[in-house]
Chains A and B, each alone.
Chain A
């Protein structure tokens, strides 16, 4: 690319035809492993922590025969990474909320994650996922009230053996597409779009304290 072209790339900031799927849940519940299983049909017990915001993209064929680009956003589960969450939630179309059936604490934390989700995205659909059922399949007989309390679709999954993984992502993409078509826009997103200036521009000019950037 020549220098002159780079001066003015002319690209828009967002892609109109992309579905944004976000994953939420405590640290080590298996968010990254679920994505890995879905995207690569693979599971390696070798684990790694995720920091900040990680993005995976896949072209997906939709039910109507058309295709769409789907962005899967993964983030760190530790609470201190919440400072970056406004960017994470921005223009999201669907959320997959994950907990670990082997750790009760991750289930208890769901209410906190859900509260934050609704703060930024009051309208987007959300799917609740109980991961690591391969550790003890008896857990699938248990009743998890959080899903019914909040009227969320609920699935038992295992990133380790692949149970239901494709199903939940297909469901998420379907719901995300539907949400996008219906044209609902979150209040927060609407507000942000009112700002003409990119927060980066403001920060760079020294006029901003940089705390209100959302992209």
Chain B
């Protein structure tokens, strides 16, 4: 079901990545990918981890037969993941970064391996929020984080902003969140794939709003719950900030984060973030998530441009937000509201097979809402 939803959301099919790989990989990259893959998927496959006796409390079933089966299963899945990442890098020419394997791990498991569709979806993600960390180095990413997180926090939670800036904490705590769309903190495939639902259905900068929303949601913990020692420094504060994603995962509160972030992006469209004295915005920097040149419709497959198109796309974005907030009786219905709106937006742009897409997507969304509610319960 999710495979079909992502196919529609990303506007890809099995033939999207059918061309030959164009980029060669260095032995260092191949080696790095292999090392990371060998350390991956634990969090997404808690049952397998348990059978291997490697769950956190060490109480898993460790019978020899179960362990052997689990080992083989994990090995097979990791081979698929390795193949998927290498294919992605060869097709996209992107630079590999630690964290990409977490995202690819979710995509691989959702698609049951390194399928053409999995590769197409990953390539599409690579053009979205993953495009910035996939550059030659992390400088654009660092710039993006520095220029957005605190300004947004200043707008949406001034006391917390004051606190963090006084403590002198760099916003590096959210780097792992941005790199993996929070999936590094997930304890199950359900949770991680739900996060990637949001990733494929939202603006490429949405993860930054999610970071701010997460910190605000956990503001009490971040600020030491009012029990801050007078001598406490930035290190302890950084440590607490790093715990935020894990706490949200533990409390099953991702939907709250998403809804809060939707509220933020409605109030501060990405184009307005980081407006400097010269009148330019951070978004105009071609080294970062360049949105402006292509209009706000970059979130919708990177098309658009021109005032009329931007206006129309703003309307679509509002539709996404409205739908997102409407869906929310259950914890995750809102996201599927986004899905419907996003696909509707795609159709209004004249995408191929639009009517069919809507029909399929609405049906998928309806079923997924039910499934997610069940998952949350």
Q: List A residues at the B interface (Cβ < 8 Å).
A: 1, 3, 5-18, 20, 27-28, 44-49, 51-57, 71, 76, 78, 80-84, 87, 105, 198-201, 203-204, 206-207, 209-211, 213, 215
Give, as a whole number of angstroms, the nearest-CB distance from A150 to chain B: 24
Known A7-B159, A206-B277: A51·B146 in contact at CB below 8 Å? no
Residue in A51, A105, A199, A200 whose CB lies within 8 Å of B179: A51
Task: List 16 contacting pairs A-B, 8 Å CB cutoff, sorted by A.
Answer: A1-B224, A1-B228, A10-B230, A11-B231, A13-B168, A27-B32, A27-B36, A46-B52, A49-B99, A52-B172, A52-B173, A54-B242, A71-B235, A200-B169, A211-B139, A215-B169
Give, as a whole number of angstroms, the nearest-CB distance from A145 to chain B: 24
Provide the residues of chain A in CB contact with B52, threshold 8 Å: 46
Q: Does B142 contact A (CB under 8 A)?
A: yes
Q: Does B39 contact A (CB under 8 A)?
A: yes
From B14-22, B113-121, B147-155, give the one contacting chain A: B147-155
Known A46-B42, A84-B175, A204-B150: A1·B143 in contact at CB below 8 Å? no
Residue in B32, B175, B226, B236 whose CB lies within 8 Å of A52: B175
Do B42 and A48 touch (CB < 8 A)? yes
Give, as a whole number of angstroms, the nearest-CB distance from B25 to chain A: 15
Known A-B contacts: A11-B232, A51-B98, A57-B239. Give 14 more (CB < 8 A).
A6-B223, A7-B159, A10-B230, A13-B166, A15-B231, A18-B235, A27-B32, A47-B39, A55-B235, A82-B138, A200-B150, A200-B169, A206-B277, A211-B142
User: What range describes how many residues of B lie at the interface?
Assistant: 35 or more
Shortest Cβ distance from A200 into B: residue: B165
Q: How far is the CA of A102 from the CA of B96 in the complex (A)?
A: 24
Do A45 and B231 touch (CB < 8 A)? no
Q: Does B170 contact A (CB under 8 A)?
A: yes
Q: Could you say which of A18, A52, A54 has the most chain B C-beta atoms within 10 Å of its C-beta?
A: A52
Q: How far is the CA of A28 from the CA of B277 in the complex (A)?
A: 44
Provide the residues of chain A in CB contact with B150, threshold 8 Å: 200, 203-204
Provide the residues of chain A in CB contact with B316, threshold 8 Å: none
Provide the residues of chain B in CB contact with A203, threshold 8 Å: 146-147, 150
Residue in B95, B98, B238 whose CB lies within 8 Å of A76: B98
Residue in A6, A51, A81 whose CB lies within 8 Å of B162: A6
Shortest Cβ distance from B56 into A: residue: A44
Do B168 and A200 touch (CB < 8 A)? yes
Secondary structure at chain A's binding surface: helix, strand, loop or mixed? loop
Provide the residues of chain B in CB contact with A80, threshold 8 Å: 95, 97, 137-138
Residue in A11, A12, A27 whose CB lies within 8 Å of B98: A27
Q: Does B101 contact A (CB under 8 A)?
A: yes
Known A12-B233, A13-B234, A78-B97: A215·B175 in contact at CB below 8 Å? no
Q: How far is the CA of A117 from the CA of B243 in the complex (A)?
A: 27
Do B239 and A55 touch (CB < 8 A)? yes
Q: Does B306 contact A (CB under 8 A)?
A: no
Do A11 and B167 touch (CB < 8 A)? yes
Provide the residues of chain B in CB contact with A206, threshold 8 Å: 274-277
Q: Does B184 contact A (CB under 8 A)?
A: yes
Do A45 and B159 touch (CB < 8 A)? no
